[in-house]
Amino acid sequence: MPRMTAARAAVEILKLEGVEVAFGVPGAAINPFYAALKASGGIRHTLARHVEGASHMAEGYTRAKAGNIGVCIGTSGPAGTDMITGLYSATADSIPILCITGQAPVARLHKEDFQAVDIASIAKPVTKAATTVLEAAQVPGVFQQAFHLMRSGRPGPVLIDLPIDVQLTEIEFDPEAYQPLPVHKPAANRIQVEKAIALLQESERPLIVAGGGVINADAAELLLEFAELTGVPVVPTLMGWGIVPDDHELNAGMVGLQTSHRYGNENFLASDFVLGIGNRWANRHTGGLDVYTAGRKFVHIDVEPTQIGKIFAPDLGIASDAKAALVLLIEVARELAAAGRLKDRREWAAGTQARRAELQRKTHFDDVPLKPQRVYEEMNRAFGPETRYVTTIGLSQIAGAQLLHVYKPRHWINCGQAGPLGWTIPAALGVAAADPEGQVVALSGDYDFQFMIEELAVGAQHRIPYVHVLVNNAYLGLIRQAQRNFDIDFQVKLEFENINAPELGVYGVDHVRVVEGLGCKAIRVTRPEELLPAFEEAKKLAAEFRVPVVVEAILERVTNISMAAADIDKVMEWEELAAGPGDAPTAIRALNA
């Protein structure tokens, strides 16, 4: 049998499991692994500036393409703890990433060695498995099991912690004899699917709620086929946005307290049956359950059995991978169609589109400073159906989800549950690394942008181009809006007069200079007519210089974005609504006022 260090065996397994890219930061306790990475070749490494950034890059890389598993690597102690936010974000959204950390020697684990921490215990609540490997001979099996766990059932992250002496120990390992473990996913059976279809057939105004699990299962085409076969309109969740193109006649709009469309909420409230596939009934989607569930029946299909009934009890729950369930749903629906027994849903579907043409928000504002709605209107003009949007949290994300358009799965890449500030830049770099020739557009408010701004240097160093739209109001906008309920405006202002950039007034940080100092390109926009030319120029600069290009839009200081406090039937519309087609010129359906 060939002999090699356990670290080299781990690297060989990564390649055999399909890993081509890794993100990380070397350090003393992980250097044997890095030595093996260099000696083995075949895995492209991107050096991050912060280990949390590396974990978010791995997330972006996984989310960008079916089958990808992002890998992030760090040394012992704080490198592992820095990755915890990335692991939490990945586990919350069912994203498989592998975190590999160095560790103090086995004999020193409980002796308060420099940068020694029980990272496996810390990471366990936010991973599918977290293991400190104490025996070198176990390394191949631990890595093999890690990939099996990440891909099986509900996908999620795994952490493997490698003491330095374990990495250096020689073991017997033959890469030619290695074989990945088979992936296990639960699958619906015929009886379950027939019962689901029966409930669908009994209804008059059904909807499909399509979640991120459909994208994780690479089943978007099947879901669209099922919707078209049955004529049932589809509500994508925020994590499922793009499963059905925004301009499709069966796209009923998004539902929720914040990232929702006016017509989406009204379509949902008019429904009497909901088939949820690969979704988790997130609270930002449902709002108060009394309103959300009243007067309608539910079927819930999810790959994780314990997800069924977690938020509310459906009329029928099915533990199944989305793809396996959809194959059977299509089979049964085809049989009914052939027998002439499928209900005609054309009138109901047409009603959902009528609401889309009647219930719109205004985007065309000529104000200076800019209103954010105009930024998204011009983004719709500048960035086409191939665009992959990347964003995390804040008023920028909420307004973006209300006003932008997405046409394909994995083209709205969003940190759905965790929402950590700073996620957007590194995640966008991960997405762009996975799709180097694609058009990647990130969206941030100024606070999210500043959290991990140093990662822009990674894009400059490794020539990873993308366009980053920065909407700057020098405020913690979402927190400011939430503080209205407490009648305060406290510790949420980022304003200050920058002595080195008096032309900015109270907008403080000179993002253009900072971005350029990090080796990237930047454009500042203050007037609405400048937005579209700036976006076009940014695309050219990204293509020419192969670096991130930031377009900073200087916004009015305070804009309240549409949202509700508790129930989806009580969304507060703070701004004037669209009254004619010219008020929302980039809407999918021209306004029928």
Kindly list the catalytic residues. Answer: 25, 51, 421, 476, 479
Query: Can you state the angle between helices 51-64 and 424-434, rounded to 10 degrees?
Result: 50
Specify whether the CB–CB gap between 98 and 158 falls below 8 A: yes
Pair of tokens at residue 292: 């959300």
Q: What is the largest CA-CA distance in the chain?
A: 76
What 8-state DSSP symbol labels residue 361?
Answer: B
φ/ψ of 410, rounded to 5, equals 65, 20
Sign of the dihedral through C-alpha 115, 420, 71, 122:
positive
Q: At what angle do helices 6-16 and 31-40 cross, to 10 degrees?
A: 50
Count the Cβ atoms, other than its own, within 10 Å of residue 470.
29
Query: Using an 8 Å Cβ cutoff, are 548 and 460 in contact?
Result: yes
The DSSP call for residue 30 is G
CA atoms within 13 A on the CB side of 157: 33
Q: What angle do CA 153, 159, 162 make, to 5 degrees?
A: 140
How big is the CA angle at 122 (ends 120 and 125), to the nearest 5 degrees? Answer: 95
Amino acid letter at 506? V
The whole-angstrom separation of Cα 105 and Cα 179 is: 29
Angle at Cα 478 formed by Cα 587 and Cα 456, nearest 5°? 85
CA of 96: how far to CAs of 65, 74, 323, in Å? 12, 17, 18
Alpha-carbon span 405 to 247, nearest angstrom: 8
- CA-CA distance, 128 to 390, in Å (whole number)? 25
Give the position of tokens 């017509």. 263
